[in-house]
Amino acid sequence: MPDKRRFLRGDQIRPDPIPKNVKIDTLVDTFFQAYNAGRIREAAHLYTKKMLQPDVTVGLSITGALTPAGLGGSCIVPLIKSGLVDWIVTTGANLYHDTHFAIGRTLHRGTPFIDDTQLHEAGVIRIYDILFDYDVLLKTDAFFRKTLSSKEFHQKRMSTAEMHYRLGKYVKEREKKLKLKYKSILSTAYDAGVPIYTSSPGDSSIGMNIAELAINETGPVIDMSADVNETAAIVLKAKRSKGKSGVFILGGGSPKNFVLQTEPQIQEVLGIDEKGHDYFLQITDARPDTGGLSGATPGEAVSWGKVDPQRLPDAVVAYVDSTIALPILTSYALQKVGKRSLKKLYHKRQEMLDLLVKEYRKVQAKKKK
**Which positions are catalytic?**
306
Q: Which residues have CB under 8 Å from 257's CB, separation 6+?
A: 199, 293
Q: Can you give the length of the chain in residues?
A: 369
Nearest partner of 92 among 151, 140, 155, judged by Cα = 140
Whole-number Å distance between alpha carbons of 8 and 247: 30
- Do β-strands 196-197 and 221-222 pair in parallel, antiparallel, or remain unpaired? unpaired
| In contact, 62 and 91? CB cutoff 8 Å | yes
179: left (phi over 0), alpha (psi -120 to 50) or beta: left
Whole-number Å distance between alpha carbons of 332 and 7: 29
Q: Which residues have CB under 8 Å from 315's CB, separation 6+?
A: 279, 280, 281, 298, 307
**SS3 assignment, position 146:** helix
Whole-number Å distance between alpha carbons of 1 and 4: 9
| In contact, 195 and 161? CB cutoff 8 Å | yes
**DSSP result, 286-341:** --GGG--GGG--HHHHHHTTSB-GGGGGGEEEE-S-HHHHHHHHHHHHHHHT----
The side-by-side arrangement of strands in the sheet containing 130-133 is 108-109, 130-133, 124-127
- Do β-strands 130-133 and 108-109 pair in parallel, antiparallel, or remain unpaired? antiparallel
